Amino acid sequence: MSNDEPKYFLNVAKSVSGKAWTDRLDIAAQRQATAIAQQVDASEIVARILAARGVQAQDALNHLTPTIRELMPDPSVLTDMDAFASRLSKAILGTDNIALFGDYDVDGASSCALMLRYLAGFGLTAACHIPDRIFEGYGPNIPAIDKLIDDGATLLILLDCGTTSNAQVAHANSRNCDVLILDHHLAAGELPKALALVNPNRSDDLSELSYLCAAGVTFMALVATNRALRASESKPETKSLPDLMGMVDLVALATVGDVVPLKGLNRALVVRGVETMRQGHNKGIAALTLAARINGPIGAQHLGFMIGPRINAGGRIGDAGLGTKLLATNSDEEAMLIAANLDELNAERQTIEAQAVEEAIAVAEAEIGAGEGPAVLVLASQNWHPGVVGLVAARLKERFNRPAFAIALKPDGTGSGSGRSVSGVDLGQGVLEAVEQGLIEKGGGHAMAAGISLKQTQIGAFRGAINEALAKDVSVARDKASTKIDAAITARTATPDFVNSLSAVGPFGMGNASPVFALASHKITYSNIVGKGGHVQCTLSSGDGASIKAIAFRAATSDLGQAILNAPRDKPMHFCGTLNVDHWQGRERVQMRLIDAADPEKANW
């Protein structure tokens, strides 16, 4: 191998999944890891993980102990923030009737619950409307706005939506109702004529906070409102203002659940929010933790895989307002009833999703065939529930390593769909361009996810346009795609203490990838298929007699799953994946979530 060829980790140029394994650290990052290990009381592996994520030695200590106080800028850096805080503080001190309109996902539910709890701190009760995904669709609609105004609303706050709702905002204004917007979705063209539109992704915002979710924007808006109230003529006592730090658990939930980058202020919000969750102050989160059967202390990983999906289940196939009600309630009884309902809906959602995914994968495999296939998958079916198309798109993206759209078609010839992207491909911008060209009825989103509304007759033109627009970016992204390894360990190394020591580098997620570890030359001593999702479970043993439990999710029919199930028991294999600690009956046990495997005899072909 020449010096200019890639250096493969464990010499794996092609894994069973067809990917190369590469060291996440380049030469410069390896030097930085050495410097971090020397300057900070951190292990060599923790130093490697930090350096691989671009942390410099002089910033390592602050990165390991992120705080909201240090990382949150003055909220006024966000465009329109002062106007927002001024109008909301006026409403709180005056006679306005406040109404909220939110999105039906975990970010919208958390944002609305945050606002409801804040207003309740002043003894105020706000009306709140969460639209039905199927009958109303995403974003504010005029009939719902009319209902809120007819019921007395004089101030309407749109949360996690509204940035592209020009007509709806104009309608509210025409009825003498002021509108405030807190959002984070991409903005295109002329903005609505709201009194304030706080969105770090609007083109004239210079805050550099575009990575915030809507709940993060809402949190900053309420910090600004508290400041405005302190400066107001009535000067309420500081101690009477709502304790925003006691509500940061909602921001953490939304930040992880909406899959925004875990960097900067977001890391601090999640770290502090998880600490607050563990105190059990939010009765809704506590009840859902029990319903989800989470063992051990709640962590950021639970928010993305167990809590968030259950809150989203209401918006996908049930009552869209359940998530907000759960997160805003102070009643133990109501919290337990809603949590049980959401848990049942989530189980139903999983069944619906599995059926749709099976159909989608079969269609995609036929479309791709033996060649490369389209750069962007755009699939549609009358059999798919509109509430699970985002999940179907995510599964397609994972399976075929390319952006994917899944569209649920109605009998009337209209459809609603969701798209999920791969790193390096801005799906939201591609959708906005399709809207501007008149190729689809409505659409929006951000780099990694987008939503669309269109007619069945528009699918062909949209498929062609989105492929043409994104083909080059997808090609570059796929060429660069490899499984990046942080370090090599053994089954004996993977102890609970070792895994827990990695938490200081977290929370892990979008923008702060979970560390991926390689196990070299381990043997499979046991394997089987478990669960309705076709998960492959196995035991991996090292040469010194140590072993580790491992699982490959939804892998039974994949190349990885088949390699595990069919591997000879005496054959050493290389494996890679992430580590987590399971808590069961008071005991801690490390489990590896498998990402890939490689045959040492074939990996360097």
If asked whether residues 425 and 544 sit together in one domain, one would say no
The arithmetic mean of pLDDT across residues 188-217, rounded, is 95
CATH code of 566's domain: 2.40.50.460
Total domain count for the chain?
3
pLDDT digits (tens, 9 = 90+) for 11-43: 999 999 888 999 999 999 999 999 999 998 889
φ/ψ of residue 441, rounded to 5:
-70, -45
Please say if the pLDDT value at position 342 is more than 80.
yes
Q: Is residue 544 part of a domain?
A: yes
DSSP 385: -
Share of the chain above pLDDT 70, in %: 97
DSSP 304: I
- Joined tokens for residue 372: 């490369």
Query: Is residue 261 a contact partner of residue 267, using CB atoms and an 8 Å limit?
Result: no
Please say if the pLDDT value at position 200 is more than 90.
yes
If asked whether residues 49 and 131 sit together in one domain, one would say no
If asked whether residues 107 and 246 sit together in one domain, one would say yes
pLDDT for the residue numbered 299: 92
| Measured distance CA(135)–CA(144) in Å, rounded | 12
311: part of which helix (H) or strand (E)?
Answer: helix 308-317
pLDDT digits (tens, 9 = 90+) for 45-68: 999 999 999 999 999 998 999 999
CATH code of 455's domain: 3.10.310.30
The arithmetic mean of pLDDT across residues 190-195, rounded, is 96
- Strand 178-182 and strand 155-159: the pairing is parallel
Domain boundary, last residue among 268, 299, 316:
268
DSSP 509: B
pLDDT digits (tens, 9 = 90+) for 253-285: 999 999 899 999 999 999 999 999 999 999 999
Helices 214-231 & 106-120, crossing angle to 10 degrees?
20
DSSP 307: I
If asked whether residues 533 and 459 sit together in one domain, one would say no
- Joined tokens for residue 410: 């109605």
List 406's β-bridge partners, or say none. Answer: 379, 418
If asked whether residues 61 and 88 sit together in one domain, one would say no
State the alpha helices, DSSP H only, in 369-407.
389-400
| Measured distance CA(182)–CA(254) in Å, rounded | 14
CATH code of 157's domain: 3.90.1640.30
The arithmetic mean of pLDDT across residues 540-551, rounded, is 94
Q: Output the CA–CA distances (angstroms, integers) from residue 42 to 27, 34, 496, in the order listed.
A: 20, 11, 17
Helix, strand, coil % over all residues of the chain, rounded to 5: 45, 20, 35
The arithmetic mean of pLDDT across residues 111-128, rounded, is 97
List 417's β-bridge partners, or say none. Answer: 407, 452
List 102's β-bridge partners, or say none. Answer: 159
> Nearest CA to 447 among 308, 266, 260?
260
Higher model confidence: residue 337 or residue 482? 337
pLDDT digits (tens, 9 = 90+) for 400-429: 989 999 999 999 999 999 999 998 899 999
Q: Is residue 221 part of a domain?
A: yes
| Measured distance CA(73)–CA(80) in Å, rounded | 15
The structure tokens 């007509």 sit at 167
Domain with 173 in it:
70-268
If asked whether residues 155 and 45 sit together in one domain, one would say no
Q: Is residue 280 part of a domain?
A: no
> Nearest CA to 485 among 58, 48, 113, 89?
48
Query: Is residue 337 a contact partner of residue 314, using CB atoms and an 8 Å limit?
Result: no
Q: Which residues contact 401 (CB under 8 A, 6 or more apart)?
A: 422, 478, 481
Q: Output the CA–CA distances (angstroms, integers) from residue 114 to 229, 243, 262, 352, 431, in the order listed.
A: 18, 11, 20, 31, 30
Q: Is residue 25 part of a domain?
A: yes
If asked whether residues 430 and 404 sit together in one domain, one would say yes
The structure tokens 């998530």 sit at 323
pTM of the complete model: 0.89
Domain boundary, last residue among 244, 268, 292:
268
Q: Is residue 201 part of a domain?
A: yes
Q: Is residue 283 part of a domain?
A: no
Q: Is residue 588 part of a domain?
A: yes
Domain boundary, last residue among 480, 509, 540:
480
The SS3 call for residue 155 is strand
The CB-based long-range contact list for 133-137 (8 Å cut-off, 24+ gap) reads 133/104, 133/315, 133/316, 133/320, 133/386, 133/387, 133/416, 134/386, 134/387, 137/416, 137/442, 137/453
If asked whether residues 79 and 190 sit together in one domain, one would say yes
If asked whether residues 578 and 495 sit together in one domain, one would say yes
- Joined tokens for residue 211: 């990575």
pLDDT for the residue numbered 189: 83
If asked whether residues 99 and 166 sit together in one domain, one would say yes
Q: Is residue 336 part of a domain?
A: no
pLDDT digits (tens, 9 = 90+) for 447-490: 888 999 999 999 999 999 999 999 999 999 887 778 999 999 99
If asked whether residues 390 and 476 sit together in one domain, one would say yes
The CB-based long-range contact list for 361-366 (8 Å cut-off, 24+ gap) reads 361/395, 361/396, 361/399, 364/396, 364/399, 364/400, 364/404
If asked whether residues 50 and 104 sit together in one domain, one would say no
Query: Is residue 316 a contact partner of residue 133, using CB atoms and an 8 Å limit?
Result: yes
Q: Which residues contact 337 (CB under 8 A, 6 or more apart)?
A: none
pLDDT digits (tens, 9 = 90+) for 350-365: 999 999 999 999 999 9
pLDDT for the residue numbered 2: 41
The count of C-alpha atoms lying within 13 angstroms of the C-alpha of 116, restricted to the half-sphere facing its C-beta, is 24
Residue type, 340: A
